[in-house]
Chain A
Amino acid sequence: MQKDSYDSSRRDFLKKLPVAITGSAVALSSCSRQEIDEYLQENFRTLSSAEKKEIISNLEKKYSEKYGKKFIVSAKPAIDNTLFGYALDLSRCIGCRRCVYACVKENNQSRDPQIQWIQVLQMEKDKGIDFMHSDVHYDPELVPEEGYFYVPVSCQQCNNPPCIKVCPTKATWQEEDGIVVVDYDWCIGCRYCQAACPYGARHFNFGQPTVPAEEINPITHYLGNRPRIKGVVEKCTFCIQRVREGKYPSCVEICPVGARKFGNLLDPNSEVRYILKNKRVLVLKAELNTQPKFFYYFGV
């Protein structure tokens, strides 16, 4: 009996069809030309430079109006002959979480619901690197605590990234300089990438992200820290808006113990290359063959 209530004849369907068509036409006509264009916008990688220019100027206008600040949305491509690498000194990190909050601020991560690209894991020295027994919620009066060490984890910028392989819309890819980026306009929020990432480095906007206007960073990159919307995935980009201008990522600049090092892996004189050559270096979950470009080392 219940089945009948869902049953509709072909005739019924055809009767309703014109109403549906008119309805959607009305709905669409209420959209501005720009909104329709935005809806039908192509993937960032297939846009012509003229299209990019137009989209970006529209975005800058939109964000500037929303936050009452002059926004810059860069689409600067990778610098030639660069492959970015990162090195973090496990023997120095004290787990103070200064990097977490510098990152949130620089990259306009949602304050509520809370999104943090860097997670600092506290681990017991006796157990070594052991994710099962690590604690991200540690909150003592002072750090470092006796008998513990700290492993900050963010996107490992894998050379063989599992996250981009599973994306059904090709909304995420690896750039020439090795940075794995997301096109927020092409992300459909399926969260496959989040499941594929073995480092928990991808974060999903379950709610409408909020950043107070007075705290928003208006210097942005299209593939990085521009304001996001509900339903898209985001992640660390090595501060793409900074490093493509030659600056260090903001976590490197804030670290009070100088545990964070960043540079060009193709430059034999870079700090990162010095570390790879002279220090004891490891990558997380090496057995998965993700080939991270984020290295952990022991400086002492």
Chain B
Amino acid sequence: MNELNHKKLKIRFIFYSLILLLFYGCAENAPFKDMTYTNVGTGESDSIQNQDIAVSAPIFHEEGIFPCSDCHADMEVNTKRRPLVDMHEEIYKSFNHDRKNLWCLDCHNANNRDYLHLANGKLISFKESEKLCGQCHGDKYRDWRFGVHGKRTGYWNGKKQYMLCVQCHNPHTPHFKKLKPMPPPVREEDLRNQD
């Protein structure tokens, strides 16, 4: 009796080992196992931190834009909401970013004009303006960090370049301007008329 049990156990052992082997083989061939992309983010975490932002922040690099403190350092701070005349009139007139509620000093820092500030008063540099945008546009900010909002160029399995918010959107008039479309495809009728 005991011997029979022993035999049964032995057969069972071999059977299970075979099944295990079978599954081990599967695991070896599993498609995801060896996928290691150097720059791909890790799931829910802030994937952009693992990515290279190869495009440089545009502010202060473009012609005609200079540190605001060049003028503002010696000026008295006036925090009263008012139409801007003389200086920045252009911006004031074209400003179309929740015009009813927002004005300059909601984003620009009053005491140090070379900085922006978050809603909680924390100063941030112009180079990290996306954090400021993300305060209101949280869904876009999240999508952008995963490379879904905005444009990515470069390598789908490697180094990518991001555009920062202000490289596509003018922060004062964020809505895209309309574009002239490229020519439509040739019509067969047009070809026939040519002959």
> Which of A's residues lie within 8 Å of B, judged by CB?
79, 81, 94-98, 100-101, 114, 116, 119, 136-144, 243, 246-248, 252-253, 255-258, 261-264, 266-271, 274-275, 278-279, 299
Q: What per-residue 1/0 map shows which CB atoms of B44-65 lie under 8 Å from chain A?
A: 0001000000000000000000
Closest chain-B Cβ to A203's Cβ sits at a distance in Å of 11
Contacting pair A143 B176 (CB below 8 A): no
Bound: A98/B183 CA distance, A = 10
Within 168-187 of B, Cβ neighbours of A (below 8 Å) are at 168, 176, 178-187
> Considering only CB atoms, which chain B residue lies closest to A79 in the complex?
B157
Contacts A81-B34, A247-B155; A274 near B182 (Cβ below 8 A): no
Contact A264 B178 (CB under 8 A): no
State A247–B32 Cα separation when bound (angstroms). 21
Tell me, yes or no, whether B149 is within 8 Å of chain A by CB.
yes
Q: A270 CB to closest chain B CB, in angstroms? A: 7
A-B contact pairs, 27 of them (CB 8 A): A81-B31, A81-B34, A94-B176, A96-B179, A96-B181, A97-B183, A100-B185, A114-B185, A137-B185, A137-B187, A138-B181, A139-B184, A142-B179, A143-B179, A144-B178, A246-B157, A246-B158, A248-B154, A248-B155, A248-B156, A253-B153, A258-B151, A258-B168, A261-B147, A266-B31, A271-B146, A279-B148
Q: Report Cα–Cα, A101/B182, bound state, in Å.
A: 8
Residue from the list B35, B47, B151, B155 in contact with A266, Cβ < 8 A:
B35
Please name all residues of chain A whose beta carbon is closer than 8 Å to the beta carbon of B180 when the two chains form the complex.
96, 141-143
Q: Report the Cα distance A98→B181, complex, angstroms.
A: 8
Q: Which residues of B contact A246 (CB under 8 A)?
A: 155-158
Which residues does chain A contribute within 8 Å of B127, judged by CB atoms?
none
A258 touches B150 (CB 8 A): yes
> Could you say which of B154, B182, B183 contacts A247, with CB atoms under 8 Å apart?
B154
Contact A138 B146, beta carbon cutoff 8 Å = no
Give every chain B residue within 8 A of A271 (Cβ-Cβ): 146-148, 152
- B residues 51-81 touching A (CB-CB < 8 Å): none
Taking the nearest CB of chain B, how far is it from the CB of A159, in angstroms? 15
Contact B163 A258 (CB under 8 A): yes
Task: Please report the C-alpha to C-alpha distance between residue A16 and residue B15 in the assembled complex, in whole angstroms.
Answer: 75
A-B CB proximity, top 6 nearest: A258-B151, A142-B178, A97-B182, A246-B155, A137-B184, A269-B40
A268 and B43 form a contact (CB under 8 A): yes
Establish whether residues A119 and B179, one from each chain, have CB atoms under 8 Å apart when the complex forms.
no
Main secondary structure of the interface of A (DSSP, over half): loop
> Given A97-B182, A143-B179, A268-B43, are A262 and B187 also a contact pair (CB < 8 Å)?
no
B183 proximity list for chain A (CB < 8 A): 97, 139
What distance in Å separates the Cβ of B45 from its nearest Cβ neighbour in chain A? 10
Contact of B151 with A97 in the complex, beta carbons under 8 Å:
no
Residues on the A chain within 8 Å of B187, using CB: 137
**Is A243 a contact partner of B179 (Cβ separation < 8 A)?**
no
Cα distance A116–B57 in the bound complex, in angstroms: 36
Smallest CB separation, A179 vs chain B (Å): 13
Chain A residues, Cβ within 8 Å of B185: 100, 114, 116, 119, 136-137
Closest to B150 in A: A258
State whether A266 touches B32 (Cβ < 8 A): yes
Besides A143-B178, A256-B179, 20 new A-B residue pairs in contact (Cβ under 8 A), listed by A number: A81-B31, A96-B180, A96-B181, A97-B184, A114-B186, A136-B184, A142-B178, A142-B181, A143-B181, A144-B178, A246-B155, A247-B155, A248-B152, A252-B152, A258-B150, A264-B156, A269-B47, A274-B148, A278-B148, A299-B149
Collect the chain A residues with CB atoms within 8 Å of residue B154's CB: 247-248
Closest residue of B by beta carbon distance from A266: B31
The answer on a CB contact under 8 Å between B43 and A248 is no
Bound-state CA distance A101–B184 (Å) is 10
Specify which chain A residues have a CB less than 8 angstroms from the CB of B150 in the assembled complex. 258
CA distance A256 to B180 in the complex (A): 12
Tell me if A269 and B151 are in contact (CB < 8 A): no
Q: Which residues of A contact B106 (CB under 8 A)?
A: none
Give the complex CA separation of A151 and B65 in angstroms. Answer: 39
B120 within 8 A of A: no
Is B42 interfacial (CB 8 A cutoff)? yes
Query: In the assembled complex, how far is the CB of residue B84 from the closest CB belonging to chain A, in whole angstroms?
Result: 29
A270 touches B156 (CB 8 A): yes
